[in-house]
Amino acid sequence: MAWTKYQLFLAGLMLVTGSINTLSAKWADIFVAEGCGGSKEHSFQHPFLQAVGMFLGEFSCLAAFYLLRCRAEGHSDSSVNPQQPFNPLLFLPPALCDMTGTSIMYVALNMTSASSFQMLRGAVIIFTGLFSVAFLGRRLVPSQWLGILATIAGLVVVGLADLLSKHDDQHKLSEVITGDLLIIMAQIIVAIQMVLEEKFVYKHNVHPLRAVGTEGLFGFVILSLLLVPMYYIPAGSFSGNPRGTLEDALDAFCQVGRQPLIALALLGNISSIAFFNFAGISVTKELSATTRMVLDSLRTVVIWALSLVLGWEAFHPLQILGFLILLMGTALYNGLHRPLLSRLSWSHPPAEESERERLLGDTRTPINHTS
């Protein structure tokens, strides 16, 4: 079945904005500029301020939701019109997990490459699977356990590639290892977020854009307030600002004033996360969860290729092997081998609707699946 122009647009939008989201964050980290009070030039390392920007982008999804809701008035679109009231505070625990996990990942992105950052985020499958068994009472099928094992193997290969790669002055070996471990640690928190969303939020049948926007609102407000004590908390070697504190938002604004391209990178990060969430939700609805997973994997390839072209990292063949193993693990966990086997065995006719129902369930997707 051929895709419509609208479906092609959504797929392209998801791929492009998803790639821009990671690359723009890494681009901001690369800039060097003077800070406040005539401090010497230093790298733009402000992960918590960047996380605030990302939550601002998520918050804007609320505007998209209400625009769709206004458009749907007078139409029978039950996915946009609220079906039952819910307490917005239900989103507070997942938002706290999102805030913590995102902040850790932005810290890690300062230490490691954009491609490794993207690949290692695949570790979320391991912890989501284990937590769903422990707390949601699910039973994983053998193919899902194989997918988890393959993902672990892929993470080991990607980590090994980082160990064997050449490292410049900006990314020393110890920093790369720390960054990789922080990314994997953050996926534990992201998995907790997904379990909380499924256990307490999904039963209220909240529209995904509204859910992302509400979590973005909580994350934006709370993390913005936390920037004040972070300005005074010493962070030692983890600090990237001249004052040696956990975060120095004033220093960040001074650097932006002296290097306007940093503002462009931050704007790209903020806007791309909003469009990426919208496109991802729309792709799942218009096409299938399979398509969304494939596009997300292609996003990793795009980020990796552009990072190599821009000279942000050195090529290592082990990364190809690691990516392929991670891709296989994701495919096994999400059951993408089943339609392929059914086609090969000719036991069942190919049916896109049955595939969508099996992978997507009742059209619910993990909230903020990309952050």
| Dist. CA 266–CA 49, nearest whole Å | 10
* pLDDT tens readout for residues 26-65: 999 999 999 888 788 999 999 999 999 999 999 999 988 8
Q: What whole-number percentage of the chain has pLDDT above 90? A: 48
Is residue 246 one of the residues assigned to a domain?
Answer: yes
pLDDT of residue 203: 75
Using 50, 70 and 90 to split pLDDT, how confident is the model at 350? very low
Which residues face 32 on adjacent strands? 43
Mean pLDDT of the region 289-304: 83
Is residue 167 one of the residues assigned to a domain?
Answer: yes
Q: With CA atoms as reference, report the closest residue to 223 among 134, 95, 359.
A: 95
Is residue 355 one of the residues assigned to a domain?
Answer: no
Using 50, 70 and 90 to split pLDDT, how confident is the model at 170? low
| DSSP assigned state of 121 | G
Which residues face 133 on adjacent strands? none
Q: What are phi and psi of 33, to 5 degrees?
A: -155, 160
| Dist. CA 306–CA 16, nearest whole Å | 12
pLDDT of residue 366: 45
Note down the domain range covering 311: 9-70+87-343
Using 50, 70 and 90 to split pLDDT, how confident is the model at 344? low
Using 50, 70 and 90 to split pLDDT, how confident is the model at 2? low
**Mean pLDDT highest for which of 104-108, 275-279, 361-365?**
104-108
Higher per-residue pLDDT: 135 or 352: 135
Asked whether 107 and 51 are in contact (CB, 8 A), the reply is: no
9-23, 77-91, 223-237, 294-308 — which is least confidently predicted?
77-91
Is residue 23 one of the residues assigned to a domain?
Answer: yes
Domain count within the chain: 1
State the helix-helix crossing angle for 249-258 and 260-286, rounded to 10 degrees: 100
Q: What whole-number percentage of the chain has pLDDT above 70? A: 85
Whether the pLDDT of residue 24 is over 90: the answer is: yes
* pLDDT tens readout for residues 249-263: 999 999 999 999 999
Mean pLDDT of the region 220-229: 96
| Dist. CA 251–CA 29, nearest whole Å | 14
Is residue 290 one of the residues assigned to a domain?
Answer: yes
Is residue 1 one of the residues assigned to a domain?
Answer: no
Full-model pTM:
0.84
Is residue 320 one of the residues assigned to a domain?
Answer: yes
Mean pLDDT of the region 126-135: 91
Is residue 178 one of the residues assigned to a domain?
Answer: yes
Whether the pLDDT of residue 180 is over 60: the answer is: yes
